[in-house]
A and B are shown apart, each in its own frame.
Chain A
Amino acid sequence: MSAPLLEVASLEAGYDDALIVRGVDLVASADQIVAIVGPNGAGKSTLLKAVYGMLRPRGGSVRFEGEDVTGERSDKLTRRGMNFVPQVENVFPTLTIAENLHVGALVLPRGERQREIDRVLDVFPLLVDRRRQRAGSLSGGERKLVALARALVTRPRLLLLDEPSAGLSPIAIDLVFDKLVEIRSLGIAIVMVEQNARRALALADTGYVLDTGKNAYTGPGRQLLDDPRVVELYLGGSGTIASSSNSTSTPSGMNPAT
């Protein structure tokens, strides 16, 4: 077992008076794909934002390669070796693919930029022929690849992905998810938030199921895939609407006679 690359402990984060992430623990090791899933409002994306310094945590800690990086700014985290691919608006549509990658490479010393871009393009043969094409003219799946490539140019050891399958056709999802496996094989860890829970868990070494801002279930992705409790979490039926509180009193007349 390798040392944890990312260690999130009791993290709390939210907006205004709403605490969304309420004490989440998460560990990701190098060479791992970690999937964070859970029903709407579980706090998945907020968790990712709090880890990547886009939202100041209200409590708990984030450690990257053993160092405390809680609340550190995103650009600093990128230089440390952590990068983030947002769900939308993740490419510059008016720039070409090559220019998009160049923007990503700006955090690197001038002399190393082109070499990194070439190295990353080796992983994305699909993009090589089209490097002079504007990113805005690409399909959804291709754009997502450009976004991944741009993040990889910074030589990360950890990639955070917010909903990599969002808005993509099934074929495009295949394209992107196959690429994620390839990225893992390069020794880069991936922590992704996914709405398509099954696709993500099938791929993930470790799955974290969140519910109302807390850890619900954790385990190997394949194992969670077959866990009926996960389905129940999504579709309801646990028998209480106040599941996030201590009060579990059942209102009278809950089962309307029809």
Chain B
Amino acid sequence: MSALLEVEDVVRTFGAVRAVDGATFAVEEHSITGLIGPNGAGKSTLFATIAGSLKPTSGRIVFAGTRIDGRPAHRVARAGVVRTYQAARVLTRMSVLENLLLATRAHPGEQLTGVLFRPRAARAHEQRGLERAQELLALVGLESYIHEYAGTLSGGQRKLLDLARVLMVEPTLVLLDEPMAGVAPTLRVQLLEHILAVRRDRGLTFLIVEHDLDFVMQAADRVVVMNQGRVLTAGTPDEVRANDQVVDAYLGTTR
């Protein structure tokens, strides 16, 4: 295994607040890496910095050997790093299928010239997108909802749709922001199974920010613990759970 993503001494400040204060860690290829830490540890800021929606104040972020820090989000996504959001962002007035088709990239039909002069390529691309969408919906168990409005889905189902939509762009690294938040208990097990299946079948790598530590400890191979903007420790779930500093970070210290 080698590092797919390397975060090196990343700092992100907001005025006088150092939300991320020199974070360093690596995400191994094909791993499921959990990023945890108490409230205000800097997880979400770091996540946004990796995904390109925030520029780091300093430091380096290297993805598959190329620096991606400071690149805008769409270029980070094109490089193969995509993220989900805590509240799944689905387009409620579009069908489940349409939600996925919107996520296909480099569609020749996006430009008028593509439609006019390369109609066959545009149609072929559309067909491929359709097939891929159907395949992904089957993967996350939403195939029977394909023509429903996305707005009719439950919170947990929207998370599944979000996962499928992210996979439409054929990413290498998927950043999941609190995938379990607001998901009904029965769907949680499913969601975990789907994540594990996607990793197994497609060789994807996941970096997951999650407050439900039962989930993280079961899903992740490796857990990175942040506290006060820095990486406190990293290791296997068992190592992290047994680490007194981690326990202190979550439960506080008496003095």
Flag whether B252 is at the interface (Cβ < 8 A).
yes
Across the two chains, which residue of chain B brings its CB closest to A37? B251
Within 169-187 of A, Cβ neighbours of B (below 8 Å) are at: none
Within 182-223 of B, Cβ neighbours of A (below 8 Å) are at: 182, 184-186, 188-190, 192-193, 196, 199-200, 211-219, 221-222
| Complex CA–CA separation, A242 to B200 (angstroms) | 22
Flag whether B133 is at the interface (Cβ < 8 A).
no
Query: Closest CB of chain B to A139's CB: distance in Å?
Result: 14
Hey, which chain B residues are within 8 Å of A251, CB to CB? 189-190, 192-193, 196
Which of A106-114, A129-137, A228-236 is found at the contact surface with chain B?
A228-236
Interface residues on A, range: 35 or more
| Complex CA–CA separation, A100 to B191 (angstroms) | 50
Across the two chains, which residue of chain B brings its CB closest to A250? B189
Interface-centre pick from B182, B218, B240, B253 (highest chain A CB count, 10 A) = B218
Hey, which chain A residues are within 8 Å of B180, CB to CB? 241
Asked if B182 contacts A18 (CB within 8 A), the reply is: yes
Query: Closest CB of chain A to B237's CB: distance in Å?
Result: 8
Hey, which chain A residues are within 8 Å of B212, CB to CB? 236, 241
Hey, which chain A residues are within 8 Å of B246, CB to CB? 235
Asked if A231 contacts B251 (CB within 8 A), the reply is: yes
Flag whether A252 is at the interface (Cβ < 8 A).
yes
Flag whether B250 is at the interface (Cβ < 8 A).
yes
Query: Closest CB of chain A to B211's CB: distance in Å?
Result: 5
| Complex CA–CA separation, A231 to B196 (angstroms) | 27
Query: Closest CB of chain A to B19's CB: distance in Å?
Result: 13
Given A241-B189, A241-B215, A247-B185, answer yes or no on A234-B254 (Cβ-Cβ < 8 Å).
no
Query: Closest CB of chain A to B151's CB: distance in Å?
Result: 14
Asked if A243 contacts B214 (CB within 8 A), the reply is: yes
Interface-centre pick from A234, A245, A249, A251 (highest chain B CB count, 10 A) = A251
Query: Closest CB of chain B to A112's CB: distance in Å?
Result: 39
Flag whether B87 is at the interface (Cβ < 8 A).
no
Hey, which chain B residues are within 8 Å of A249, CB to CB? 189
Asked if A236 contacts B215 (CB within 8 A), the reply is: yes
Given A236-B241, A240-B214, answer yes or no on A245-B250 (Cβ-Cβ < 8 Å).
no
Flag whether A40 is at the interface (Cβ < 8 A).
yes
Hey, which chain A residues are within 8 Å of B218, CB to CB? 236, 241, 254-255
Flag whether A223 is at the interface (Cβ < 8 A).
no
Across the two chains, which residue of chain B brings its CB closest to A240? B214
Hey, which chain A residues are within 8 Å of B251, CB to CB? 196-198, 230-231, 234
Asked if A245 contacts B186 (CB within 8 A), the reply is: yes
Flag whether B39 is at the interface (Cβ < 8 A).
yes
Given A196-B252, A237-B214, answer yes or no on A256-B32 (Cβ-Cβ < 8 Å).
yes
Hey, which chain A residues are within 8 Å of B38, CB to CB? 195
Query: Closest CB of chain A to B117's CB: distance in Å?
Result: 48
| Complex CA–CA separation, A199 to B186 (angstroms) | 35
Flag whether B247 is at the interface (Cβ < 8 A).
yes
Hey, which chain B residues are within 8 Å of A241, CB to CB? 180, 188-189, 192, 212, 214-215, 218
Asked if A242 contacts B213 (CB within 8 A), the reply is: no
Asked if A236 contacts B188 (CB within 8 A), the reply is: no
Q: Which of B190, B217, B252 contacts A198 (CB 8 A)?
A: B252
| Complex CA–CA separation, A202 to B236 (angstroms) | 30
Hey, which chain A residues are within 8 Å of B31, CB to CB? 258
Hey, which chain B residues are within 8 Å of A231, CB to CB? 247, 251
| Complex CA–CA separation, A239 to B250 (angstroms) | 19
Asked if A195 contacts B213 (CB within 8 A), the reply is: no
Query: Closest CB of chain B to A176's CB: distance in Å?
Result: 14
| Complex CA–CA separation, A35 to B186 (angstroms) | 32
Asked if B217 contacts A41 (CB within 8 A), the reply is: no
Within 85-131 of A, Cβ neighbours of B (below 8 Å) are at: none
Some 19 contacts from A to B, beta carbons below 8 A apart, are A40-B211, A196-B251, A196-B252, A197-B252, A202-B254, A235-B217, A236-B213, A237-B214, A240-B214, A241-B180, A241-B214, A243-B185, A245-B184, A247-B189, A249-B189, A251-B190, A254-B218, A258-B31, A258-B221
Interface residues of B (CB under 8 A from A): 31-32, 38-39, 180-182, 184-186, 188-190, 192-193, 196, 199-200, 211-219, 221-222, 236-237, 240-241, 246-248, 250-254
Other 4 A-B pairs with CB < 8 A, given A235-B247, A247-B185: A234-B213, A234-B250, A242-B186, A245-B184
